[in-house]
Structure 1
Amino acid sequence: MNQSVLKALKLLDYFTEETPELTLRELTTKSNIPKPTVYRLLVSLEQAGFLMKTKESEHDSRYRLGIKLMELGYRVADQIELRRIAKPYMEQLAQEINEVIHLVIVNEDKATYIEKVDSNRALRLYTKIGKNAPLYLGSGPKLLLAYLPPSRQEKVLNESSLSPIANLPPIDKETLKRELKIIREQGYAISKGEQDHDTTGISYPIYNYKHEVVASLAVSGLSNHFEGKNLTVIKEATERIAHQVSRSIGY
C-alpha cells in the first residue's frame, strides 16, 4: 500500500473519544513523523473532508474528525443492516427458484455485490461477495444505473469506455440509454450473456423509506432455465421478494 496513505490513516487513529481534537504538534509527537510531512498529510485529509480545522494560530493548528468519515460510517452501517435484513429473504427465494441470488449496490461509479446465496445446482456461478462490476453490464448493475439521478447517470456513461465481455460487439451509448429508460418503465432489468456467456440475469429494485433505490435483487443462472413458464415464475418470485425486503427496511 502507498506509504503516504498508511501514514494519513495512522493520523486518523489518534483521534479518540478522549482526544477528539489534536494539534499539529501533538500529532507530530504521537506519530513520530516529521512535522512538514504531518502538515502535508493534514492538509490533504482536510481537503478530502476527513478532517476539519477548528482553530489555527501562528504557531499551531487544531483538528478534529470531519463529516466525510460520518458519511462513510453511515454508508457502511446501512450496507451491513441491508445485508442482515435481506439474507433470509434471499435464502427463501433461492429455495423457491433454485438459482443464484445476489444483492448489488452502487459503489462510487461501479456496482458491488455485497451478498450472495447459491443454488443447489451442480453448475454454479462463482461470484464473490465484494466483486465490482461496471454499472452497464448485467441486470443488477444496469438496474441500479437506470435509477441513478440523471446527472450522475450521465457522468457514469461519459466516463466509462462501455467495454463488453470478450466476443461481444461494442456497447452503443445511445442504445444503452434507451434500454435504461425501458428498465425504469417496466420496473425490472434483464440481461443475457453480459457478464458470463450462456447466462441470464433478472433484477428488481429494493427501495428504502425515502422511496430511493438502494440495491438490486438479482437472480442469475443458465439461460435455458429462464424460458417459458419458468421465466414467469422467476420474475414473479423475485419481484415479490424484492418488495418484501423493501418493506422490511421501511419502504
Structure 2
Amino acid sequence: MCGVISKAIQILDVLVPQGSEKEMSVTEISRELGMPVQSVHRILNSLSRHGFVAQNKKTKKYKLGLCVMKYGFLMWDSLMLRSLARPFMEELSQKTKESVYLATRENTEGVYIDSIDSPQMLKISEPIGLRLPLFVGASNRVILAYLSKKVQDTLLMNVDWDKTPSLIRLSADYIMKDLEVIRARGYAMTSGEATEGTTGIGAPIFSFENTVIGSLNVAGPSLRFTPEKIETYAYQVKKYADLISKELGYRNKYRWS
C-alpha cells in the first residue's frame, strides 16, 4: 500500500504546472517516472475517481484535478487566517491577560493553529495542534453553531456520547440547545469540558465567502472568570473576532440555515 501511495504522489508531482497548465499522457508519465504503463493507468484511474486528476476528453491527457486545488485553498486559508489574526490575538492577550487561542475546523474536529499564553503564573497552556470534536469546548462549539443545520445533524448523528472526550456528560439534546444560545448571543462559553477547572469563551470568525472558518478564544482558570470578567471577555473576544473576519473580507452577510 505504501508503494502505491508513493507512486500516486510522484504522479501528482509530475503533473504540477510549471508556469502554465500541464497535461501529460499515460505514456509520457510512464516514461518520465520509469513506471510501467499499466501501473500508471491504474493509479490515474483511482486518482481521477477522487478528483485529484482530470482527463482531457479530446487529447486523453491528464492534469491535476479540482480536488488538489480545494486542499490547496484550505491550507492557504489556514495560513492566511493565522497571519491576519496574530496582531489581534496579541491585543486581546494584552487586554485580558489570559491565554488566547485561534482554532479552525478540520472535518469533524476543531484544531488549535495558534496561541498566546497568559503572562500570569496560574494559567492554562494547550498545545498547538490539539484536536477535539466540534461539540467539545467553546472554541469548537462556536464553530459548530454557525455550520448549517444539515452539517450539524450529520456531525452529531453517530456520536457515542458515552465515549466523548469531555469531562462532563454531553448529549445531542444539550448540544443543540447550546448552539441556539450561542447564535443568539454571538459567543460560546464552556467550563470544565476539555480541561478541569478552566473556562473558555469563543467567538466565530467568518471568511469572505460568509462562512465560518474558525474561532478566537480566551481561556483561563475558572476562578478568575467572574460574571464581570465574563461579560468583558465576551465583548472583547467578539470584537476582535469581528475585526479578523473583516480583514478576511467578511461582509456581515452570514445566514444560518
TM-score over 0.5 for the alignment? yes
CA positional deviation for 1:246: 1.8
CA distance in 2, matches of 1:26, 1:32: 10
Instruction: Show the 5 A alignment for 1:71-150.
Output: 71-150=70-149
CA positional deviation for 1:29: 2.1
Distance 1:183 1:24, change over 3 A: same
CA deviation profile, 1:85-134 (whole Å, cap 9, x unmatched): 11000011001111111111111121121121111122443322222211
CA distance in 2, matches of 1:213, 1:122: 33
CA contact (8 A) 2:138 2:190 kept: yes
Distance 1:227 1:3, change over 3 A: farther
Distance 1:124 1:217, change over 3 A: same
- Which ranges of structure 1 fall in alignment gaps of 5 or more residues? none
Instruction: Show the 5 A alignment for 1:43-62.
Output: 43-55=45-57, 61-62=60-61
Which residue in the other structure is 2:41 paired with?
A: 39
RMSD: 2.0
| Secondary structure of residue in 2 paired with 1:21 | coil
CA distance in 2, matches of 1:24, 1:44: 13
CA positional deviation for 1:166: 6.4
CA contact (8 A) 1:164 1:194 kept: no
CA distance in 2, matches of 1:32, 1:229: 68
> Runs of 4 or more off by more than 6 Å in structure 1?
none
CA positional deviation for 1:136: 0.8
Which residue in the other structure is 1:224 paired with?
A: 223
Which residue in the other structure is 1:173 paired with?
A: 172
Which residue in the other structure is 2:254 paired with?
A: none
CA positional deviation for 1:50: 0.8
Is 1:20 aligned to residue 19 of structure 2?
no
CA contact (8 A) 2:198 2:222 kept: yes
CA contact (8 A) 1:112 1:133 kept: yes
Which residue in the other structure is 1:156 paired with?
A: 155
CA distance in 2, matches of 1:48, 1:92: 43
Is 1:236 aligned to residue 235 of structure 2?
yes
CA contact (8 A) 1:202 1:218 kept: yes
CA contact (8 A) 2:166 2:194 kept: no
Aligned residues: 247
| Secondary structure of residue in 1 paired with 2:173 | helix
Q: Which moved more, 1:196-205 or 1:1-10?
A: 1-10
Distance 1:73 1:26, change over 3 A: same
Q: TM-score, normalised by structure 1?
A: 0.90
Which residue in the other structure is 2:9 paired with?
A: 9
* Identical positions, percent: 30
CA positional deviation for 1:30: 2.2
CA positional deviation for 1:47: 0.9
